Amino acid sequence: MSAPAANAPRSTLDTLSYLAESLTAGWELPFRGEIYDYARAIDLQNGYAIKGPFEVEKSRYLIEPFQALRNPYVRQVHVRKAVRVGGSLIADLFVCYIIRWDPGELLWLSQDDDAAGKYMDERFIPGCLKRAPGIMEMFNAPVGRLPSGGAATGRNWSLQRKQFLLPLMSAQIGGLNEGNVQSLGRRYVIIDEAWMSGQSGLINQAIARTGDYPYTKKILIVGQAGTEGDDEDQQWKRSNQAELNFKCPHCHKAQPYEFSRKRDDGSWAGMRWDTNDITCPNGRWNYDRVAESARYECFACRRRIEDNSITRRQLNDSQHYIATRADGEASIVGFHIPQEANADISFGSLVKEYLYAKEQDNEYAYRLPLQLWYQKYRAIPWNPNLTMDIKRAIYEPYDVVSTWPEEAHRFLLVDCQKDFKEFWAVVRAVALSGESRQLARRKLENWDEVAKLQAEFHIKDQMVFIDGGYEQTRCAEECVKHGHVGTITVGREKKKFWFCWTLLKGSALGTFTHTDANGIKDQRIYGRLDFIDPNIGKAKTRQVFAYAPPFPGAPRSTLHAPDVPGAPRSTLHAPDVPSSSLRPGREGPQPASPASAESGGQRGQGRGPAAVVASPQGQSRDRAAAMRVPVAARVPYYVWSNLHVKDILRRHRDQDHAPKFLSLPDESPDTDVWSYTAQMNSEIRDQVYDDRGRKTSIWRPIPRRPNHYWDCEAMFIAVCAIVGIIGSQPGT
Ligand SMILES: [Zn+2]
């Protein structure tokens, strides 16, 4: 720079003075590499677990978090990590990097002022900061002069445990407390062990400090997990929640580091260990022996991944993240790192920690070790349901095949899973008192199995309820296929009605307005009867019959059920039609009387109710034939309030001032997340802020916990409300 080139600006003096003001970091090109590239030159010492130059290749799970911190589109990086995976190092190296290459005001918070000061004195300043290239030169720049020789500012650069003062930035270091989060605006905010602040609101206040830097701010949240729903958890839920995956050394299938993961066939993948006379003599763990038997089992190929440094290194080398949530805020990324991420930690030590925690819990009712195990080793937030030490559904022996004199209705509730590859079903009988008995619960594989279960328990078409939350139209098509035209005697007349499976859908709305015949409005926890038309059959061949909603109210003696032969007597009464709706054709043209309608609903026993309407030839029991006959194609449809229905279900489940809610016994082990008991405890009630900033309550699924039976039973409660067992008004 000493000899101006021929094409330099005319006034060399102007140029130099401009450069002096702007290029304050010195006469050098800005560094464009990743944070971990810069950090390779840092010779870590003092309190750091791995001493010497930082090598990101040994901890590949840190690569993506570091990249996110440099990504110009990312504003918030959340690293939820187990202990001993070196997560705090992310903050330490990031701070060195920003001081050196991207200065801006920094607020760096951890559990409290004392701990923060100690960390600075004993670890960060001597072991990292002072060893980072180019940094001490900045602190040692002549007082009052910029390192580049620029204008004086009159400040003294200083390096103290609570504050760094540098030419282009300052850093404030302390505990996450009221005093520290009310400081001036900051471009960088780092919160270490954020989970410790519980539900204090301090995380939000700290983040709010970055408000002046909407496009350049960086927030880094690091630490283990705390408790479901705490402030740290709320931030985590805003992110894309990326899970650390590895590739199986045998089959190369990517999979998350799950401690235990159940396959569809009921077998387990993940951490495995032997339970035998050597590892568990006399029912007590020999921790060293059981640790020796530890290995990991691939979810895909089921082969053993042995517990040795070579295989663990192979896993490390294939580490990458997969986002588990597509609808997170784009500028917020989250990385979940369980302890297996660290190749230096043996599987055996993880198994030991787990079994110790389980034993304390099981044998001594001492729960804390297990809680800590989830939070510290799995980096999963604690919730009291996590261990399945939860109320089993109330169980009294009862015979599902014998008649229950009080039985008023019998429902089949079906929860449909993605692509209709899996169905979860509950059959439940209910008395008018609200007392109910579960008669069956099953996982099913296709619609035919649903129909078979219906036939097995002699359930009327209109008492089958399908969750229409997923692919509503396809569900509606199935509802129509499984319908029939039946005859009800009203007074002296025989009337034809259309009966089919009913669609239900949970709603975020709290209540729904209903208006009675007199125009009086009231609020209920389910919506008004609506219809879905899946458009099956041509209009000219289609007839529309009145739908008879399964309301109680009409005198039963006047009605004959058009029902499944062989149904238990108690369920054979009519579908309880209010007289006001007994107007056939009210919903459409008057029904003609095709032969097909005459024998509606008559089905051979033991055959699936796939036939919509029996044809005179009796050949319409298959799907194709069913499509050719005239059908009344509309499907009744109700929405129900998730919040209120699940509140009621919770009380039934816990027997908290609720009618008896009997269920079949659950023989599954406590650890089985697919068990009925676990599924019935798969959601928790939580308070959240809605779009308008109002606090509302919701039922929220616990991550990685199947909740299908819970959904089925919620549908049961919704149906009880629809048929009037729950919430019927006196006098109606
Ligand atoms: Zn494999």
What's the pLDDT tens digit per position in 696-722?
788 888 877 899 999 999 999 999 998
| Percent of the chain at pLDDT exceeding 90 | 45
Cα 297 to ligand 1 centre (Å): 8
Cα 704 to ligand 1 centre (Å): 21
Cα 317 to ligand 1 centre (Å): 15
Cα 293 to ligand 1 centre (Å): 19
Mean pLDDT across the chain, nearest whole number? 79
Structure tokens at 388: 């399945």
SS (H, E, C) 414-457: EEECHHHCCEEEEEEEEECCCCEEEEEEEEECCHHHHHHHHHHC
Cα 279 to ligand 1 centre (Å): 26
Q: Dihedral through CA 571, CA 573, CA 575, CA 577, nearest 10?
A: -150
- What pTM value is reported for the model? 0.56
- DSSP assignment letter at 168: S
> Can you tell me whether residue 466 is helix, strand or coil?
strand
Cα 678 to ligand 1 centre (Å): 28
Ranges of each domain in the chain: 30-241, 243-324+346-378, 407-641, 643-722
Non-local (6+) Cβ contacts of 148 within 8 A are: 20, 23, 24, 25, 26, 27
Rounded CA separation 574/494 (Å): 13
Rounded CA separation 583/547 (Å): 9
Rounded CA separation 373/382 (Å): 9
Structure tokens at 437: 């008995």
Cα 256 to ligand 1 centre (Å): 12
Give the pLDDT confidence score for residue 340 in this predicted structure: 92
Cα 378 to ligand 1 centre (Å): 22
CA-to-CA dists, residue 103 to 99, 152, 215, 372, angstroms: 5, 18, 15, 37
Q: What is the average pLDDT across 663-681?
A: 85
Non-local (6+) Cβ contacts of 278 within 8 A are: 286, 289
Q: What is the average pLDDT across 476-495?
A: 80
Cα 120 to ligand 1 centre (Å): 44
pLDDT in tens, 273-291: 998 889 988 888 899 999 9
pLDDT band at 613 (very low <50, low <70, confident <90, very high): very low
pLDDT band at 604 (very low <50, low <70, confident <90, very high): very low
Give the pLDDT confidence score for residue 539 in this predicted structure: 40
Choose between 166 and 695: higher pLDDT. 166
How many alpha carbons lie under 13 Å from residue 190 in its C-beta half-sphere?
Answer: 25
Q: What is the average pLDDT across 152-156?
A: 52
Cα 370 to ligand 1 centre (Å): 29
Q: Dihedral through CA 22, CA 24, CA 27, CA 33, nearest 10?
A: -100
Cα 271 to ligand 1 centre (Å): 14
Lowest mean pLDDT among 5-19, 380-394, 430-444: 5-19
Cα 3 to ligand 1 centre (Å): 64
SS (H, E, C) 99-163: HHHCCCCEEEEECCHHHHHHHHHHHHHHHCHHHCCCHHHHHCCCCCCCCCCCCCCCCCCEECCCE
Cα 344 to ligand 1 centre (Å): 21
Topology at the third CATH level for domain 30-241: Rossmann fold (3.40.50)
Cα 319 to ligand 1 centre (Å): 15
Residue 718 identity (one-letter amino acid): A
Rounded CA separation 262/143 (Å): 63
Cα 333 to ligand 1 centre (Å): 28
